[in-house]
Amino acid sequence: MRLQDLEIFTVAPPAPGWGGRYWTFVKLTTACGIVGYGECYVSTVGPKAMKAVIEDVFARHMQGSSPEDVELMYRRVYSSGFTQRPDPTVMGAFAGLEIACWDILGKARNRPVWALLGGKMNQRIRSYTYLYPEPGQSHPDFWVDPDMAAEAALRFVNMGFTAVKFDPAGPYTIRGGHEPAMSDITRSVAFCKRIREAVGDRADLLFGTHGQFTTGGAIRLGQAIEPYLPLWYEEPIPPDNLLEFAEVARAVRIPIATGERFTTKAEFATVLRTGGVKILQPALGRLGGIWEAKKLAAIAEVFNAEMAPHLYAGPVEWAANIHLATSIPNLLIAETIETGGAFHLALIKHTITWEDGYIIPPEAPGLGIDFDEDLARAHPYTGDRLHLEMQEAPCDYRNGNRFEGGAPSTPQ
């Protein structure tokens, strides 16, 4: 087998667009005609530029190679340009291509990817979802109203979820860490209180942030929500402040989770060694793919840490997460967009099953999905925005902060 052809799909999900403004899928075809699909999560450049990066990485480091040579191709990419250090754009490009290689290998051997990673450690995968409004509900207060959040939490728990995530402590700005406004702390406490009252002990609360606080600000907020026993406090400080996670962990009695914006196992290893993080959230479409995530899971075992694969992208990264999760002993939980996401599931022709709070590992060869190329081509993204964008305006300490969930309402 030799990797021969590449095709790239940049797909815009219909409104409300849970999972980001667009998703980047890759299709690899071997010289003998086997097809594999992958997904590149990272989007630090516009979609046209990202397409060029993916094409360059494939032509320069992978075309003509065997899809079995995952380790060799990774080292070529990681070392490219005399770097050997984290590069989110290049590693994100490779991640999607690497996932497609595993899809090819599974199909060539007529086995699911999890079988090539050590077999089925987990018969089913515990999952969680963000709190999203009901279909057709677009009330702008949903993201800042504790009562609406509590109603949504109870709705998802009644579906079978045993954990729900929410992130009321905005804003997410380009300015790095800031002190939270008192109104943000008050709202965060109210969210935790109302959601805990609504679901009781039926579900874990996952408190999300996106790296927006200073160390001191993260400690203040974390201590305020401690009474509601969240399962985790997610990425409370900027992801490049690796050593500061330990300072937050020493002061807050909630497990710290992070990793969706980390690009290499070396970054994760740093926060593990300092004791700052015990729940790792790799995004497989950014980390470098399935094999790097499998290595990371092994490293985490040594530190008694757990894995919780991140998802704010499309269904192919979700599928990759599921195969990793199936094969590892230190799985905590895997992110899911609602019960799979209507458009997500349509893109893979409903080939992954969610049942009563759990994902069922697919048994079909490769990733076990049937990617609908016609549907992908029917929903092209034609704009020039980024997958996700942070605001430039600073935290508002006088008037409070309003923010939306992950679905952008601004023009595409």
Higher-confidence residue of 134 and 404: namely 134
Q: How confident is the model at residue 49 (pLDDT cuts 50, 70, 90)?
A: very high
pLDDT of residue 403: 74
Indicate the residue type of 304: N
DSSP per-residue string spanning 138-183: --GGGGG-HHHHHHHHHHHHHHT-SEEEE--S---BTT--BPPPHH
Burial grade of 31 (CB within 10 A; 0-12, 13-18, 19 or more): exposed
Among 128-132, 362-366, 374-378, 389-393, the range scoring the smallest mean pLDDT is 389-393
Encode pLDDT of 89-145 as tens digits. 999 999 999 999 999 999 999 999 999 999 999 999 999 999 999 987 877 889 999
Encode pLDDT of 249-285 as tens digits. 999 999 999 999 999 999 999 999 999 999 999 999 9
Alpha-carbon distance of 9 to 314, in angstroms, equals 12
Indicate the residue type of 334: A
Encode pLDDT of 153-188 as tens digits. 999 999 999 999 999 998 999 988 999 999 999 999
pTM for this prediction:
0.97
Domain that holds residue 351: 115-367
pLDDT of residue 285: 97
Among 70-79, 385-394, 398-407, the range scoring the smallest mean pLDDT is 398-407
User: Residue 335 falls within a domain, yes or no?
Assistant: yes
Q: What is the mean pLDDT of residues 220-227?
A: 98
Q: How confident is the model at residue 406 (pLDDT cuts 50, 70, 90)?
A: low
User: Residue 168 falls within a domain, yes or no?
Assistant: yes
DSSP-derived letter for residue 391 is: B
User: Residue 240 falls within a domain, yes or no?
Assistant: yes
pLDDT of residue 411: 44
Alpha-carbon distance of 308 to 364, in angstroms, equals 23
User: Residue 127 falls within a domain, yes or no?
Assistant: yes
User: Residue 61 falls within a domain, yes or no?
Assistant: no
User: Residue 412 falls within a domain, yes or no?
Assistant: no
Place of tokens 């992208």: 313
User: Residue 316 falls within a domain, yes or no?
Assistant: yes
pLDDT of residue 118: 97
Indicate the residue type of 267: E
User: Residue 82 falls within a domain, yes or no?
Assistant: no
Tell me the average pLDDT of the chain.
Answer: 95
Encode pLDDT of 200-218 as tens digits. 999 999 999 999 999 999 9
Decide if pLDDT at 354 tops 50: yes
Q: How confident is the model at residue 15 (pLDDT cuts 50, 70, 90)?
A: confident
Q: What is the mean pLDDT of residues 44-60?
A: 97
Q: What is the mean pLDDT of residues 326-345?
A: 97
pLDDT of residue 405: 57
Of 368, 270, 388, which is closest to residue 321 (Cα–Cα)?
A: 368
Q: Report the number of distinct structural domains present in the chain.
A: 1
CATH of the domain at 136: 3.20.20.120
Could you tell me the CA-to-CA distances from 242 to 90, 195, 227, 285 in Å, in that order?
21, 31, 26, 21
